[in-house]
Structure 1
Amino acid sequence: MNVEMTVSTAVADLALGGAFTFDALFDAVRQRRQRKLRVVELAELGDHDGICAVWLTTDTEDLILHAHSDSVLHRQQFVLHEFAHMILGHCDGDECSEVDALLPDIPPHTRGRLLRRQDLDTDTEIAAESLADRLAAGIRGSAFAESRYSEIFA
């Protein structure tokens, strides 16, 4: 897998340009997947679990549960990583078969992908984290553009 090409193609396919808001990205992901999308902080997730965020799917919606962090940027990165998995289609079709084996008693339509961001040794996780970083850069670019940062400090 050529991660850079995969990520660049995914960013281009979103058609958001080089700078965009989190809300614009949220809407693009929701429209692309043609389903309801919710993002919820779940205080029970945390470092003790080793889970930063969980992407759950049902027949009609995607749900991202993320851990609390005192840093807004850190929380945003949790969510962007899950968005990246969605954008890259990592849980479409048979891609989540490992979840089937881990959670056999949970009906297939409620299974999600439990993603541990620290396990970055697979192509899937590397691509998702790389895309999440690119998405964060686009959001930062929008914030700088809106604040005229580059005009004032350049």
Structure 2
Amino acid sequence: MNSEVSVSTALDQLALGETFTFDELVGAVQRSRGRRLRIVELVGVTGRDGLCAVWFEAGGDDVILHAQSDSVLHEQQFVLHELAHMILGHEVDEDSDVPDILLPDIPPETRRRLLRRQDLNTVKEVQAETLADHLAAAIRGSTMHRSRYLEVFG
């Protein structure tokens, strides 16, 4: 799943079946990317603050930071959207250039990704949200209720 793929192809490549747990999904993403995945809630930040979630690479790991929400399902959707970007192969656009004067301590590729996030009607954003919806449905359909999902989302 290193190159960009369609939503249906991405679901097939996960090889998780029609239903799976949040843990199984996280494990499949980690295996496919060959990296550890850390999911961290941003305490005191809500979706109303303009940031729902962000995915970036740090120290050889993938990291998803997500905002708090009164709805567990809403928080789940924040994270699933970022997982969908990973699964679909939506890597950082190396052609765009963000001046380092704005955020000098953040690597250029991370700055590009963070600052691009205002346009939610792009093909990649729509694909990621579509896949996130499919992932959420598969998790809800899972008969296994004990998972890291409860650890992450309460």
Q: TM-score range by the shorter chain?
A: 0.7 to 0.9
Give the corresponding residue for 1:121. 121
Is 1:75 matched with 2:75?
A: yes
Paired amino acid for 1:15: A
Query: Which SS does the other structure have where 1:101 is aligned?
Result: coil
Give the corresponding residue for 1:101. 98
Superposition deviation, residue 23 in structure 1: 0.4
**In 2, are the aligned partners of 1:39 and 1:65 still within 8 Å (CA)?**
yes
> TM-score normalized by structure 2?
0.77
Give the corresponding residue for 2:34. 34
Q: For residues 140-151 of structure 1, what are the structure 2 equivalents within 5 Å? A: 140-142=140-142, 145-146=143-144
**In 2, are the aligned partners of 1:56 and 1:63 still within 8 Å (CA)?**
yes
Superposition deviation, residue 48 in structure 1: 4.6
Bigger CA drift: 5-14 or 73-82?
Answer: 5-14
Paired amino acid for 1:132: A
Distance 2:94 2:44 in 1: 24
Superposition deviation, residue 79 in structure 1: 0.3
Distance 1:73 1:48 in 2: 16
Paired amino acid for 1:125: E
**In 2, are the aligned partners of 1:10 and 1:87 still within 8 Å (CA)?**
yes
Larger radius of gyration: 1
Between structures 1 and 2, the one with greater helix share? 1
Distance 1:112 1:32 in 2: 24
Change (3 A) 1:96 1:76: farther
Percentage of identical aligned residues: 58
Could you tell me which runs of 5 or more consecutive residues in structure 1 were left unpaired when the two chains were aligned. Answer: 148-154
Distance 1:58 1:146 in 2: 31
Total equivalences in the alignment: 137
Q: For residues 56-75 of structure 1, what are the structure 2 equivalents within 5 Å? A: 56-75=56-75
Could you tell me which runs of 5 or more consecutive residues in structure 2 were left unpaired when the two chains were aligned. Answer: 146-154
Distance 1:45 1:113 in 2: 19
Report Cα offsets for 1:16-70 as digits up to 9, x if no partner.
0000000000000111110111000002432453110011212401100000012
Change (3 A) 1:108 1:119: closer
**In 1, are the aligned partners of 2:98 and 2:111 still within 8 Å (CA)?**
no
> TM-score normalized by structure 1?
0.77
